[in-house]
Amino acid sequence: MTSRQEISAWRPAVPGVTEVFHARFTEHAYPMHVHDDWTLLIVDDGAVRYDLDRHERGTPNGTVSLLPPYVPHNGSPATAHGFRKRVLYLDLTHLDEGLIGAAVDRPDLVDPVLRRRVEQVHTALARPGDELEAESRLALIGRRLRAHLGPAPAAELAEGPDRGVRDPGIAQDFRDLLDTRLREGTTLQEAASVLHAHPAHLVRAFSAAFGIAPHQYLMSRRVGLARRLLLDGAPPGEVAASTGFYDQSHLTRHFQRVWGVTPGRYARTGRADRG
């Protein structure tokens, strides 16, 4: 077997995420060690075996593993070709210390909804400018993890993956806040502080009231602003900067998703129509 290592690590601009770590290992074995953060782990290829609190554990296909802070664990490939994993390190604002014992008892969770949401967060974290999406998805992940680890998880998990909560007042307040901060943006944590609501409640109430997630609403409003500026003749790079997008490629991705064409082509079509 040829030894192979691929590593990518970064600190995203998302509150509560201390590190994102992607790795491919064929031979490396972690010794016993501890973290002061929660370790939220998915394995995309192969499998990992590890010891946690003197019990042997593993990551069978499709699971989500949550390793608690302060509890020693190790890790090594469980297959001949190694493993490929994606990890989020989350501070104690996402999950408090009271859940450590439950996480030690059942660290590997078989939950397709949770797995899909974790994958979606990694996708959002890899795209600068989509931090509100990542933060919103993390809020729902935290709620689902608490349901798994709490004393009575069945009732929470039985609600289904995307069922919202009815709170039209807080939903309208959140939309008003997004509208007033359309260009500069806001974090979900900031919105929760201003509106005195839990982040997950904000996301679920907004989605239930308006049929669209908060990050989708924000990006669609920014795309709407961009359309007007493009038709006025502003260049795409300038439009991106003035409408709150991270850069021109960020504008292009969201503009094309909504309208099916690039900003440049959209602008040229408008000029042709006036000619």
End position of a domain, from candidates 94, 111, 128: 111
189 shares a domain with 95: no
18 shares a domain with 59: yes
106 shares a domain with 19: yes
Look over the chain and give the mean of its residue pLDDT values, rounded to a whole number. 90
- Helices (runs of H) and strands (runs of E) counted in the chain: 11, 10
Q: How confident is the model at residue 54 (pLDDT cuts 50, 70, 90)?
A: confident
Q: Is the dihedral of CA 212, 218, 224, 227 positive or negative?
A: negative
Does 235 reside within a domain? Answer: yes
Does 17 reside within a domain? Answer: yes
Does 135 reside within a domain? Answer: no
Q: Which residue has the higher pLDDT, 167 or 192?
A: 192
Q: How confident is the model at residue 131 (pLDDT cuts 50, 70, 90)?
A: very high
Does 123 reside within a domain? Answer: no
221 has a pLDDT exceeding 70: yes
Q: Tell me the pLDDT tens digit for each residue of 236-274.
A: 999 999 999 999 999 999 999 999 999 999 998 765 444
54 shares a domain with 98: yes
103 shares a domain with 28: yes
Q: Are 165 and 201 in contact (CB under 8 A)?
A: yes
How many whole angstroms separate alpha carbon 275 and alpha carbon 269?
10
Does 231 reside within a domain? Answer: yes
Does 55 reside within a domain? Answer: yes
End position of a domain, from candidates 111, 131, 149: 111
Average pLDDT estimate for 148-173? 72
CATH number at residue 224: 1.10.10.60
Q: How confident is the model at residue 165 (pLDDT cuts 50, 70, 90)?
A: confident
pLDDT of res. 274: 47
Print the domain residue range for 199: 164-211
How many whole angstroms separate alpha carbon 272 and alpha carbon 106?
62
262 shares a domain with 172: no
Q: Helix 199-210 crosses helix 188-195 at what angle (to 10 degrees)?
A: 90
270 shares a domain with 227: yes
175 shares a domain with 267: no
Q: Are 67 and 39 in contact (CB under 8 A)?
A: yes
How many whole angstroms separate alpha carbon 192 and alpha carbon 214?
13
161 has a pLDDT exceeding 50: no
Write out the two tokens for 26.
């064929």
176 shares a domain with 91: no
**Burial class of residue 215, CB neighbours in 10 A (0-12, 13-18, 19+):** buried
How many whole angstroms separate alpha carbon 196 and alpha carbon 200?
12
pLDDT of res. 157: 66
End position of a domain, from candidates 68, 90, 111: 111
Does 64 reside within a domain? Answer: yes
Q: Tell me the pLDDT tens digit for each residue of 75-97.
A: 999 988 899 999 999 999 999 99
24 shares a domain with 105: yes
Q: Tell me the pLDDT tens digit for each residue of 228-238.
A: 999 999 999 99
201 has a pLDDT exceeding 70: yes
CATH number at residue 62: 2.60.120.10
Does 18 reside within a domain? Answer: yes
9 shares a domain with 107: yes
87 shares a domain with 37: yes
List, in sequence order, every beta strand (DSSP E) within the chain: 5-10, 17-25, 30-33, 38-46, 48-52, 55-58, 64-67, 73-77, 83-90, 108-109
Total domains, the chain: 3
Q: How many residues does the chain have?
A: 275
